[in-house]
Structure 1
Amino acid sequence: MTTLIAPHGGSLKNLYLSADAAAAEKQKAREYVSWDLSHRQLCDIELLLNGAFSPLEGFLGEADYDRVVREMRLADGTLWPMPITLDVSEAFAATVKRGERIALRDPEGALIAVLEIGDIYTPDKAVEAQGVFGTTDDTHPGVAYLMHKAGPVYLGGRLFGMEEPPHYDFRHLRNSPAELRALFNKLGWRKVVAFQTRNPMHRAHQELTFRAAKLSQANLLIQPVVGMTKPGDIDHYSRVRCYEHLIKQYPEQSTMLSLLHLAMRMGGPREAVWHAIIRKNHGCSHFIVGRDHAGPGKGRDGKDFYGPYDAQALVAKHAVELGIEMVPFQEMVYVEELAEYVPQDEVQPGQSVLNISGTEFRRRLMEGLEIPSWFSYPEVVAELRRTHPPKHLQGFTVFFTGLSGSGKSTIANALMVKLMELGGRRVTMLDGDLVRKNLSSELGFSKEHRNINILRIGYVASEITKNGGIAICAPIAPYAQTRTEVRSMIAPLGGFIEVHVATTVETCEQRDRKGLYAKARAGIIKEFTGISDPYETPENPELRIQTEECTPDEAAQRILLKLESLGYIR
């Protein structure tokens, strides 16, 4: 474990053990308790080990964590805005104690690092959400992960790196902080301005970054995030191919592309400060902070979580301490009379501004409509069309939810027949009872087991959707959070159409051929949805059907019309 000093970015932590020390520790680690790292934990540990998160030497202990949440500082006063924690289950936490070492492994079982436990603590997640993200609204992706996915107990302590997490994609574009610093030195790049992105780049982005480098008299590093971004973002494979096309539009030897395996939190202003520290650690002298940097969009109240320039304000406030210069930029717009992009505040009265929002661009992409050359480069558009075809060529999932006996399976079967009659895609039925029999026979009916069953259905449906097929799912799916997780699995891969079969409990009881409701009311069946266990009604399904008012055939026809209006069938 060493600290490197370099002209670019100051001191840099390297938490990897030497080859001999790592070999000796691997022998000992065979006796250690093991924790399998999640996707986000793998992203975090990679950037801890290679120094991108310098000055951290491991996952935060309780004192550091508390002060980061409250004040954006470590216990010793060092500026650090984001809690980097190892979250685990209560059951696992009960098997370890302070002072012990545990093995941290990837999903394949490879030993990535050893953690010497310094702290075991239970955070107040509501306090963390409010402190870090400024909200407890779980429509914020960072809050949703914290509240619904992260384990309830945190382990803090020093890390000892064994080997780098493996990557098999774009290896020529993956550079550690030390490697980038060495490359900058070799090329004689004394000033480097970094650009952070999680989206495909178009002409406005190219103009913005080129102007920023020119203004700073610096070379340009385009460093997109390829770890975890906002749910629903375009996959990084497609994006990187687009960046490789775009990089050719810059002057030769002026710009470099390098990938960052970061797990974003979408934390707005705090995240911008974090990103600035990370780019300083990579050897950059300047960092572009644009409008609504790392903003997650709107909350449950319909308002943006952060103001458009809050991130710029917070980075500017800490500029001296950060040691990296911010390059602030407003939104770039295309002025028709000038045939070029300019910052929005430089548009003159009477000039015609052309702009396509991200939402409008995605709509045109999904519907196969024209995307003008002033907006994006033809090579970039062609790449995105290749991996994101129009809706009528995509797979999709129709996800029914409703009480037992509501008519879900009957309508689902009618819909399946109609879709097969249309042809064009393979159709798969994932009925709740059939999945229980074939995929989830070992599960009971506790809330935990019901969630596992629904998530299994969601996973299978996501694979069908990803490969261009149609999945029809017809479980009860009583819990809103689980349905949200299923949507987040499938929506980035194709269509997701939630259909709430809103039949009343009274009607379901009248139709009950198996006598399940009677047994539930008699207490023979425990935790029965609608009787002794809640059903959380969907707030905004794509379609709501009252079966008391229509036949199964009419209901299926309504769904077909909805699919047609959304563009998934023609």
Structure 2
Amino acid sequence: MKAVAAEIASAELDALIPPHGGVLRDLYLPTTEAAALKRHSASLPQWTLNQRQLCDLELLLNGGFSPLQGFLGRADYDRVVKEMRLADGTLWPMPITLDVDEAFAASLPEGAQISLNDVQGTPLAVLTVEDVYFPDRIAEARFVFGTTDRTHPGVAELLDRTGPVYLGGRLQGIQPPAHYDFAALRHSPRQLRDWFRQHGWDRIVAFQTRNPMHRAHRELTLRAAEQVGAKLLIQPSVGRTKPGDVDHYTRVRCYRALLENYPRDRATLSLLPLAMRMGGPREALWHAIIRKNYGASHFIVGRDHAGPGKGTDGKPFYDPYDAQRLLAAHEHELGIRIVPFPAMVYAANRDTYLPQTEVSSQDDIRDISGTELRRRLHSGEAIPEWFTFPEVVDILRERHPANARQGYTLFFTGLSGSGKSTLAQAVLARLLETGSRPVTVLDGDEVRRHLSKGLGFSREDRDANITRIGYVASEVVRHGGIAICAPIAPYAGARADARQLVQAHGRFVEIHVSTPLEVCEARDRKGLYAAARAGKIKGFTGIDDPYEVPSSPELRVDTSQLSVGEAAERVVEWLREQALA
């Protein structure tokens, strides 16, 4: 009886799945109307979208975020944050918001229209503003991510780099964002649905990934597709993923190579311009809805789906199977079937991959972690064929050639007088004493005289200064060099932006020079602290302007407890341990 009941329940769920995704809300205007709106947009207030906003806009306009028709207003936002539902009760787990600064929001008249542009100034859409509101971002972090720990990349983005005001309203699409890479693999939901119809695919299981795929992933996806009698859609996120991830250009080349190892006409590849939040269970639910909009009938949910790793307490942010449980609880209203799947592991004694749930105590399980893979790529050590395909190894070795030294940035931050510039010079000397790698020093005072000449000391100007330092450092790192930066960098958000720029190409090592304020004041030869306390200097860090202490730097040193030489040795020793020096 139980088996019959399960079959009936499964049939009922299948009946709830609309063919190729159901209703799709495409927000682009017809060609003539779009051209007229584009001309009109030149007279409107202009907002330049950041990378996350650009990804969100693309998926709003092409229907990937159906049923949304714009950025969330207050009523929708509040209910999504607390209950994972829009104001009308529709299931929707992730707040899709347009954040702006207070000055821009204050400049808008009631019912304003604004032009939403890419970084080149190209108008992509017009937003009719229906709601302007101040969110409680701490509460948003707690509800959406389950934590306020800034080690979580979604929390750090929300609390440190998100504007304080949200604009809600309906969108009218003018044109899609321009993409010049992998054009043949970029499909809108409507295009992908049409492709499925043309090829006779009516049962499609989608697979989400943000990492290169290897043999374990192939085995998992093939088994999942066979289990439900479906064709396979590999749809990696190529918008913004987790800082430090392999760049999407390399990943897509790996996916194309891997696709050749699937049975003919059983799998296809399409790219998703999604800005991930790494939100674990909620993110998995969001991913499922998006895949339904793209025409999939089934969605694979594996172990620790969209998990960002561990917090400052050393514990994972989410239980490995929280996402599977949350999706199972909402499967009846999702409009897409969930295919939960355990991790696949290699049993050397059987020379095959097995679901983790089928492993016995006699099995000899082998694995290569991401860290171990990077070590082997760096050293030139062999990568076994049981782990991945030779074609994938070749692509990864091109991107990470053997014995090539990875570029990195040493980012010293601390109060004025903490000793960060002196320590940076000592570390520079030690690195040059023992090696021949090119090193570029971006000292705070020197940068102010040249790269950031003309900037003041408002929060906006200070952030711009750190962004410039981060950009130059990222270019040094991209070419395999070492950048040593020593600004005060008082704000966590600006430091996080610099980290993100650098980690696109190499390592970012944040070193908090944690010398106490009273020691810094005692060392002050220029009398700046005294002038600030007397009110002669305004906005001085540590006196009347805050220094936001780094929550989880790679290193923390106190030059009131260590000599400069001892502190430099600690930094260099850490670099040796990380195989960076």
Could you tell me which residue of structure 1 aligns to residue 7 of structure 2?
none
Indicate if the aligned counterparts of 2:233 and 2:270 stay in contact, CA closer than 8 A.
yes
SS at structure 1 position matched to 2:125: strand
* Aligned-pair CA distance for 1:296: 1.5
* Aligned-pair CA distance for 1:457: 1.6
Letter matched to residue 91 of structure 1: A
Letter matched to residue 458 of structure 1: G
SS at structure 1 position matched to 2:260: helix
* Aligned-pair CA distance for 1:290: 0.5
Once the two structures are superposed, residues 143-196 of structure 1 have per-residue CA deviations (whole angstroms, 9 ceiling, x without a partner) of 222222222222222211111111000001001111111111111112111100
Superposed, which structure 2 residues align to 1:228-267 within 5 Å?
228-267=240-279
Distance in 1, matches of 2:312 and 2:571, equals 27
Structure 1: tracts of 5 or more residues without a match: none
Indicate if the aligned counterparts of 2:150 and 2:551 stay in contact, CA closer than 8 A.
no
Could you tell me which residue of structure 2 aligns to residue 141 of structure 1?
153
Could you tell me which residue of structure 1 aligns to residue 373 of structure 2?
361
Find 1:31's aligned residue among 43, 54, 73.
Answer: 43
Distance in 2, matches of 1:41 and 1:480, equals 21
Q: Which moved more, 1:463-472 or 1:378-387?
A: 378-387
Could you tell me which residue of structure 2 aligns to residue 96 of structure 1?
108
SS at structure 2 position matched to 1:455: helix
Structure 1's 348 and 485: CA in aligned 2 closer, same or farther, altered over 3 A? Answer: same
Distance in 2, matches of 1:434 and 1:250, equals 55
Indicate if the aligned counterparts of 2:405 and 2:580 stay in contact, CA closer than 8 A.
yes
Indicate if the aligned counterparts of 1:268 and 1:296 stay in contact, CA closer than 8 A.
yes
* Aligned-pair CA distance for 1:516: 3.2
Structure 2: tracts of 5 or more residues without a match: 1-16
Find 1:432's aligned residue among 444, 462, 481.
Answer: 444
Distance in 2, matches of 1:29 and 1:207, equals 50
Could you tell me which residue of structure 2 aligns to residue 211 of structure 1?
223
* Aligned-pair CA distance for 1:134: 2.1
Q: Is 1:113 aligned to residue 125 of structure 2?
A: yes
Q: Which moved more, 1:132-141 or 1:273-282?
A: 132-141
* Aligned-pair CA distance for 1:413: 3.0
SS at structure 1 position matched to 2:363: coil
Letter matched to residue 264 of structure 1: M
* Aligned-pair CA distance for 1:335: 0.8
Q: Which moved more, 1:147-156 or 1:484-493?
A: 484-493
Structure 1's 165 and 478: CA in aligned 2 closer, same or farther, altered over 3 A? Answer: closer
Indicate if the aligned counterparts of 1:9 and 1:285 stay in contact, CA closer than 8 A.
yes
Indicate if the aligned counterparts of 2:98 and 2:166 stay in contact, CA closer than 8 A.
yes
* Aligned-pair CA distance for 1:541: 4.4
Find 1:379's aligned residue among 391, 406, 412.
Answer: 391
Q: Is 1:165 aligned to residue 177 of structure 2?
A: yes
Q: Is 1:461 aligned to residue 473 of structure 2?
A: yes
* Aligned-pair CA distance for 1:115: 1.4
Q: RMSD over aligned Cα, in angstroms?
A: 2.5
Distance in 1, matches of 2:547 and 2:47, equals 35
Indicate if the aligned counterparts of 2:244 and 2:506 stay in contact, CA closer than 8 A.
no
Determine what percentage of the aligned residue pairs are the same residue: 62
SS at structure 1 position matched to 2:94: coil
Q: Is 1:12 aligned to residue 24 of structure 2?
A: yes
Task: Choose between structure 1 and 2 for higher RCO, CA contacts under 8 A separated by at least 6 residues.
Answer: 2
The TM-score, its normalising length taken from structure 2, stands at 0.90
Structure 1's 137 and 553: CA in aligned 2 closer, same or farther, altered over 3 A? Answer: closer
* Aligned-pair CA distance for 1:416: 3.1
* Aligned-pair CA distance for 1:34: 1.7
Find 1:566's aligned residue among 554, 578, 581.
Answer: 578
* Aligned-pair CA distance for 1:343: 0.4
SS at structure 2 position matched to 1:233: coil
Find 1:321's aligned residue among 328, 333, 344.
Answer: 333
Structure 1's 99 and 540: CA in aligned 2 closer, same or farther, altered over 3 A? Answer: closer
* Aligned-pair CA distance for 1:138: 2.6
Find 1:413's aligned residue among 411, 425, 444.
Answer: 425
Give the total of aligned pairs.
Answer: 565
Indicate if the aligned counterparts of 1:391 and 1:567 stay in contact, CA closer than 8 A.
no
Structure 1's 333 and 27: CA in aligned 2 closer, same or farther, altered over 3 A? Answer: same
* Aligned-pair CA distance for 1:506: 5.7
Could you tell me which residue of structure 2 aligns to residue 152 of structure 1?
164
Distance in 1, matches of 2:166 and 2:220, equals 40
The TM-score, its normalising length taken from structure 1, stands at 0.92
Indicate if the aligned counterparts of 2:123 and 2:174 stay in contact, CA closer than 8 A.
yes
SS at structure 2 position matched to 1:145: helix
Could you tell me which residue of structure 2 aligns to residue 344 of structure 1?
356
Letter matched to residue 357 of structure 1: S
Structure 1's 240 and 100: CA in aligned 2 closer, same or farther, altered over 3 A? Answer: same
Structure 1's 321 and 461: CA in aligned 2 closer, same or farther, altered over 3 A? Answer: same
Distance in 1, matches of 2:379 and 2:369, equals 15
Could you tell me which residue of structure 2 aligns to residue 335 of structure 1?
347
* Aligned-pair CA distance for 1:354: 1.3
